[in-house]
Structure 1
Amino acid sequence: MKEFPKCYGIIPARYASSRLPGKPLADILGKPMFWHVYDRARRCPELARVLLATDDERIRAKAEELGVPAVMTRPDHASGTDRVLEAAELIGVEPDAVVANIQGDEPCLEPAMLTDLLRPFREPEVRVATLAGRIDAAEAASPDRVKVALATNGNALYFSRSAIPFDRDGSGDGYLLHIGLYAFRMEALRAFAALPPGALERREKLEQLRLLENGIPIRVSLTRHACHGVDREEDLAGVTNILREQL
């Protein structure tokens, strides 16, 4: 087992959002949402550096005002992963380092989730990692909840919006919810960005299937922590209450 690699956390913060324009700047307890994500991510002891990657001068200016390190990236990226790669290259991330893509709409992020995400990189063969948590059959039935099935070594076999594996005996358990935090070795991040979308990715509308379709394994780390993402304006009240209770 090699020495644990240097790890970076990059938070993509795009201004445009069809459901909640300007989402990174949404006010939560007097601070923009991106500040809460940054504040919690920097508490992860495995991360040597955390920064914001944005495409908007308003977000960059607010980050500077609050002391949050940020880099400006192109506005035309197809995904947050592409934005993370540009930011990683701008700051000169080392070829053997690990980059965590930290969702900018997770103001209640538990730092321990990032520790869970990065732990697999103690094994030198791990190139990409993500998270999963246990859910029941009722939750697994929703196509909005992405499920993952695992091999015995902890690598992902498949991700799907369908309930996998099919519960033929009706036991009602064994479902794993995919949690959309990712970490890549820098070479794997570059490889991912260079690949075209695959047939399975287009069909399921799941970007991570591009890796599996091209033979790039994804190690899945189980976590007991849950996400509380913000997709719509009505989600802000819920995360505000969670954060207020933690004060």
Structure 2
Amino acid sequence: MSKFPECHGIIPARYESSRFPGKPLAEIMGKPMFWHVYDRAKKCPQMSSVTLATDDQRIFDAAQAHGVPVVMTASDHQSGTDRVLEAARKLDIDSDAVVVNIQGDEPCLEPDMLTDLLTPFENCRVHVATLATAIGYEDAQSPDRVKVVRAKNGRALYFSRSLVPFDRDEKVHGFLLHIGLYAFRMEALMRFGELDPSPLEQREKLEQLRLLEDGIDIYVTETRHTCHGVDRPEDLEKAKTILERE
């Protein structure tokens, strides 16, 4: 066990999106979507700082106008994790600190989810962590719902779009749905940036498999919370309803 590390949240926010161009700027209750993500993330008591990372001047200017810390990053990153890494380097985050990749399309993010995500870092041997929540058989059948299986100590054994674990006797239909929030010690994040896409990653189209194939453990905490991501314009109404109700 060790002293709890400093934790820094970074929200990757790119303008281009095939399904929803300009999504970070979409207005919810008079504020851009990224503002809601930032406002909720900073309510997590373990978070030392929260910063937006973008590749677009419009998003950069809007962040400054709304008082959200922001850094400009390159436009050619292959993933949000790569953008987070560049931002973390620009912010000169210590190698022992934890960097949290907070999805920019989660305006209803529960701060307690971030607490759940960060809890494993009380152990100095944990370098990467993520979240999962229980789902039933029907939901688990979709390849868009990524499943995870883990060891007794919480270490991820595998992530897959397939039904894992396979239920040979068809007696149990409980599965763990992976939630795409990640936390890395800075040194593990830098290691990720050095790795080429791995064979399993390319087959499943899941970048977390790059870490497992390199022998880097990912610890999975089960949370009672769920995500309400905005993937398309029609998802905005649901997010607005949730925020207005709260």
Q: How far apart are the structure 2 equivalents of 1:167 and 1:136?
A: 13
Superposition TM-score, scaled by structure 1 size = 0.98
Q: CA-to-partner distance for each residue in 1:174-226, whole Å, 9 max, x for gaps?
A: 30000000000000000011100011000000010000011000000110000
Q: CA-to-partner distance for each residue in 1:210-243, whole Å, 9 max, x for gaps?
A: 0001100000011000000011111111111111
Aligned partner of 1:4 in structure 2 is 4
3-state SS, counterpart of residue 233 of structure 2: coil
For 1:69-218, list aligned pairs within 5 A: 69-218=69-218
Aligned partner of 1:229 in structure 2 is 229
Residue 30 in 1 paired to residue 30 in 2? yes
Q: CA-to-partner distance for each residue in 1:131-176, whole Å, 9 max, x for gaps?
A: 0000000111111100000011110000000110011122243300
How high is the sequence identity, in percent, across the aligned residues?
A: 67
Q: CA-to-partner distance for each residue in 1:106-149, whole Å, 9 max, x for gaps?
A: 00000000000000000000000000000000111111100000
Q: How far apart are the structure 1 equivalents of 2:19 and 2:172?
A: 33
Superposition TM-score, scaled by structure 2 size = 0.99
**Where does the alignment leave 5 or more consecutive residues of structure 1 unmatched?**
none
List, as ranges, runs of 4+ consecutive aligned residues in structure 1 with deviation greater than 6 Å. Answer: none
Aligned AA for 1:240?
Answer: K
Deviation of 1:93 after TM superposition, in Å, equals 0.2
Q: How far apart are the structure 2 equivalents of 1:234 and 1:193?
A: 34
Q: Which moved more, 1:177-186 or 1:235-244?
A: 235-244
3-state SS, counterpart of residue 234 of structure 1: helix
Q: How far apart are the structure 1 equivalents of 2:174 and 2:213?
A: 24
Deviation of 1:37 after TM superposition, in Å, equals 0.2
CA RMSD in angstroms, aligned pairs only: 0.7
Contact 1:131 1:222 in 2 (8 A): yes
Aligned partner of 2:13 in structure 1 is 13
Aligned residues: 246
